[in-house]
Structures are given as C-alpha cells and as structure tokens.
Amino acid sequence: MEGIVRVGLVGYGYWGPNLLRNYMGLDKADVRWVCDLGAGRIALAKSRYPSVTVTQDYADVIGDPEVDAVLIATPISTHYELALRALEAGKHVFVEKPLTSTSRDAVKLIELANANRLTLMVGHTFEYSPPVMKIKEIIDSGELGDIHFMASSRVNLGLHQKDVSVIWDLAPHDLSIFFYWLGEEPTHIGAVGRSCLDGCNPDVAFVNLAFPSGAIAEIQLSWLSPVKLRRTMIVGSRKMLLYDDTESVEKVKIYDHGVTRKVEPDSYGEYQLSYRTGDIVSPRLDTHEPLFTEASEFVDSVLSRRPPRTDGASGLRVVNALERAEESLKHNGSRVDETMNYGRRKDDDQLLVEPYTPYVHQMFIGP
C-alpha cells in the first residue's frame, strides 16, 4: 500500500505493549503481526487488538513478503540476532535501546542496513521527549553559556534484571540524552558500582564522563533507592537548569544563577566573587507522547528513505559508551579513554573487534 508501512512487532513483554499502542494510532502504519515466545502474551495482544495476527515463531513475521518493517522489543541479548535476520530478509528495523550488546554487532547491523538500503533505528525514546528536546534548543541557543557540567540521577526501587547490569539497563537513556544535547562523545568514561544483593548483577553504579569541550558529567544509576529520581542538573557559564522528569508540570526550570570572578584594578591580581541569584523560568513544553513522535520518525524515515534521527550510528555511540563503562567497572573505576574506540584499543595488537569505522551518520538511503 502506498504511503503505509506494514509492521510486525516482536516482544510483547513490559515495553512492547507501549510500542504497539502507539503504532496502532499511526495513520501511516499498519500493524500486521505480534510475535512473542509466550502464549499468554500473544493471547493478550490478540484480545486487545483483534485485527493483528499473532505468532510464537519469528520466522512467520520476517517470512511475510507483505511486512515492510520489524519492531524489536525483546531482551538486549536477543537484539542482534533478531535484527540481523530481519535485515537479511529485506525488512527495515527498529530496535529498542540499547541497539546491541556489543559494538561489534552494532557495526555489523549498520553495515548490513547501509548495504541493503534499509532503515535501522534505535529506540532512544528520550530524544523524542518534549523536555529533552526543549533543553537541546536551550543549550544550542547559548542561553546557558558553555556547559561546565551535568549530573543526573536515575534511581528507584526498580526491577533487578537477570541478564544485564544496571548500567546496560538504565544508562542508555542518560548517555543518549547527553550525546544529543552536547553533540559530542566522551573522551573518558569511568564507573564504579557494586552488587548489593549477593550473586546479582551490579545494581548500583556511578558513571562519570569527560567531553572534548571540557564539559564533565556524572550519572547515578540504581535499582535500590527509597525514592524514584529522574533528575538532571546542568550548570553553564551563564545560567543553570534543572530537569525533573517526575514532575507533572514545570519539568524544566532555568535558573539565572551564577558566580562571576572580578579582578579589581590596582589590587595586585586579587579578585572578588560576585554571586547572582536571578529569575527562575519554566519554559512551556509541547505535550506530545515521546513514543508517538519516535514511531512517526521511524515510519517517516522508511517512507522517505532518509536516515532517522536516532539511527544505527546513534545506537553504536551509546553501546560503545556502555562497553567502556563496563570495562571501567571491572577495573575499579579506572578511566577508559577513546582509544577503546568501538571495542578497539589503539596500542593493543589484539583487537576486541574490527577496526573502528567512523559512522558519523548513517549513510543516505537512496531510492
């Protein structure tokens, strides 16, 4: 059908239903299949959306010649294989965050998508959320000045994941947000963490990053916390900003606060600090649902054959940063620099993956 993308969803666990609800509401999408290994899960999908065909066998979805695109919302360890099979079958692919569990796999998916002129998109949902998009606008306008540092907390009494650490579960959000805001990747990443419950994956981690611009950042992540925090503070040379995603209104506040250093004439280099505590302004935000905007972006990029905003390269950047953070965690927080670039150490003969290919943006997808 002209102007319509026919999709199949694989993975109808916790997150898949959110994707399905949004794709069901898109005029330009036609959801044909829902696939999950669990019989109860597909029965639930069928009861909610009788028009979709359900299956426990992924081969049914990618084998359907009428399906244009596949949405993958399964556990991280399965992303690569499922995405690879879809791309090999000639389908456009949307994969939930993080894109893959190694940068080597992310590179392979990007190469395959490019070679076959297929869209590969990653679900960095926050890059489509109104407060995050507004903050990008504010940073780019120069209102905050140069960014000195950013600090975020993403903690709650969360579900312990069996197969991944808290870094792989929660950090993709903050990493993708920070890279989007700053438009750069970190030179150094360090991480400390521990498993507070014996025998489990690390359930608390503090990740720190340094960027080429001089900005530094810290991300606190935990599944063990008395309260839920989703808060980021940005301190710039001109103004400061607080983003609290748990607030229902006024999620973003800009503080006209700062400290300036004045050298007094004839004072032999002595200086005075002048403190400014001015207005606090909360900008108006759009009210669209991030997942709906994200779904529209995927469908539009498939239809217009242009790279999506959160393309494979965006997914690779985040996966690489996650690998570096995990590497640091194993070495008690030592800083892992960019020489561990996409899984490769410059001065190490033994490459962890193939040499790094600079994917600044996914290539243009021609007609």
Ligand X SMILES: NC(=O)c1ccc[n+]([C@@H]2O[C@H](COP(=O)([O-])OP(=O)(O)OC[C@H]3O[C@@H](n4cnc5c(N)ncnc54)[C@H](O)[C@@H]3O)[C@@H](O)[C@H]2O)c1
Comparing CB distances to ligand X, the nearer of 156 and 237 is: 156
Adjacent-strand bridge partners of 221: 154, 205
Alpha-carbon distances of 109 from 121, 173, 238, rounded to whole Å: 10, 21, 41
- Listed ranges 67-75, 201-209, 212-220, 258-266: which one lies at the site for ligand X (CB under 6 A): 67-75
**Interface mask (CB under 6 A) for ligand X, residues 91-130, using x and -?**
-----xx-------------------------x-x-----
Q: How far is the CB of 60 from ligand X (least distance, A)?
A: 11
Residue 122: CB atoms within 10 Å: 33
**Per-residue contact string for residues 16-35; x = within reach of ligand X by CB under 6 A:** x------------------x
Residue 49 is a binding residue for ligand X (CB under 6 A):
no
Q: What share of the chain is helix, strand, coil (3-state, %, to 5)?
A: 30, 25, 40
Residues forming beta bridges with residue 241, ordered by sequence position: 234, 254
The answer to the question of residue 41 lying near ligand X (CB under 6 A) is yes
Residue 172 C-beta: closest distance to ligand X, Å: 7
- Residue 292 near ligand X by CB under 6 A: no
324 binds ligand X (CB under 6 A): no
- What tokens does 190 get? 């360090």
Q: Which of 4, 24, 32, 37 touches ligand X by CB under 6 A?
A: 37
From CA 296, how far away is CA 233, in angstroms rounded?
29
CA dihedral 164, 168, 169, 175 (to 10 degrees): 180
Residues 179-208 within binding reach of ligand X (CB under 6 A)? none
The alpha-helical segments, DSSP class H, found in 183-337 are: 290-304, 312-330
Q: What is the CA radius of gyration of the chain?
A: 22
Least gap, CB of 11 to ligand X (angstroms): 3
Options 14, 199, 268, 287; binder of ligand X; rule CB under 6 A: 14
Considering beta carbons, is residue 12 or 356 the nearer one to ligand X?
12
CB 9 to ligand X: min, Å? 10
Looking at beta carbons, which residue is closest to ligand X? 13
Q: Is residue 13 near ligand X by the rule CB under 6 A?
A: yes
Residue from 8, 26, 36, 242 in contact with ligand X (CB under 6 A): 36
Per DSSP, 190 falls in state E
Residue of 74, 102, 153, 296 that binds ligand X (CB under 6 A): 74
Of 4, 6, 15, 244, which lies in the binding site for ligand X, with binding defined by CB under 6 A?
15
Task: Tell me: does residue 73 bind ligand X (CB under 6 A).
Answer: yes
Q: What are phi and psi of 322, to 5 degrees?
A: -65, -40
Other CB atoms within 10 Å distance of the CB of residue 91 = 23
Provide the token pair at 304. 């217009």
Joined together, the tokens standing for residue 50 give 């009788």
- The pair of structure tokens assigned to 326 is 């995990």
Amino acid at 165: S
Residues that bind ligand X (CB under 6 A): 10-16, 35-38, 41, 58, 73-76, 78, 96-97, 123, 125
